[in-house]
């Protein structure tokens, strides 16, 4: 039977902004993380599903030059959101042919989505740097990537204490394509 684990959303404050007189006036960062895990084993099979959502709410900061990292005068907050989905599964099959061995066949899938408005707000004078617009209005604060993988490996034990592990793995990355 699969085990389902859901953690309560965790919120923590990381920094305190201080007024010129040194008095704490506001929290600059709030991070909330929600994690849901479903996993299980059945005989020689293992599988799992994982979901994680992280909200990082922080006061706006300067992005470059002398004001880089300094809290801006408007003291407004921006929330960056990271959402991750992960699933994996594998089957292990014991084989006795010439030597004792275990054949493993598996698959993985990951998807990450990041909405990061705080880091894409800077506008530079160059119109185009490596194909990316210098204007914040022409750049998206949303990014995502997806990875899919299939693999097979054979754990061969020709003699006690010696393992030979040939394997083959295929990965597909949404940003860069296929890879063996």
**In the prediction, which pLDDT does 9 show?**
53
How many Å apart are CA 165 and CA 155, to the nearest integer? 5
Domain ranges of the chain: 3-115+143-179
In our burial notation (b when 16+ CB lie closer than 10 A, e otherwise), range 85-123 reads ebebbbeeeeeeeeeebbbbebebebeeebbbebeeeee
Mean pLDDT on 38-61: 75
Q: Tell which wins on pLDDT, 6 or 23.
A: 6
| Distances 180 to 150, 152, 170 between C-alpha atoms, Å | 10, 12, 5
**In the prediction, which pLDDT does 145 show?**
92
Non-local CB neighbours of 153 within 8 Å, separated by 6+ positions: 103, 104, 165, 166, 167, 168
Mean pLDDT of the chain: 74
Asked which of 21-30, 65-74, 88-97, 105-114 is least confident by mean pLDDT, the reply is 21-30
Asked which of 21-35, 48-62, 100-114, 118-132 is least confident by mean pLDDT, the reply is 21-35
How many Å apart are CA 131 and CA 111, to the nearest integer? 25
What's CA 119's distance to the chain center, in Å?
Answer: 17
Share of the chain above pLDDT 70, in %: 54
pTM as predicted? 0.61
**In the prediction, which pLDDT does 155 show?**
92
Task: Give yes or no for residue 105 having a pLDDT over 80.
Answer: yes
Q: Tell which wins on pLDDT, 1 or 104.
A: 104
How many Å apart are CA 8 and CA 80, to the nearest integer? 20
For residue 30, name the pLDDT band (cuts at 50, 70, 90): low
């Amino acid at each position: 039977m699969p085990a389902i684990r859901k953690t309560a959303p965790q919120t923590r404050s990381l920094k305190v902004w201080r007024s010129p007189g040194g008095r704490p006036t506001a929290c600059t960062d709030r991070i909330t993380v929600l994690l849901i895990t479903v996993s299980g084993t059945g005989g020689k099979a293992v599988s799992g599903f994982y979901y994680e959502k992280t909200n990082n709410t922080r006061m706006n900061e300067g992005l470059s030059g002398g004001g880089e990292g300094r809290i801006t005068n408007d003291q407004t907050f921006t929330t960056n959101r990271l959402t991750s989905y992960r699933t994996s599964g594998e089957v292990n099959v014991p084989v006795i042919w010439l030597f004792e061995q275990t054949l493993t066949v598996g698959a993985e899938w990951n998807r990450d989505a990041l909405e990061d408005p705080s880091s894409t707000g800077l506008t530079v004078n160059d119109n185009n740097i490596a194909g990316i617009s210098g204007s914040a209005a022409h750049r998206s604060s949303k990014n995502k990537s997806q990875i899919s993988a299939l693999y097979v490996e054979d754990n061969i034990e020709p003699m006690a204490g010696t393992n030979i592990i040939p394997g083959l793995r295929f990965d597909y990355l949404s940003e860069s394509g296929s890879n063996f």
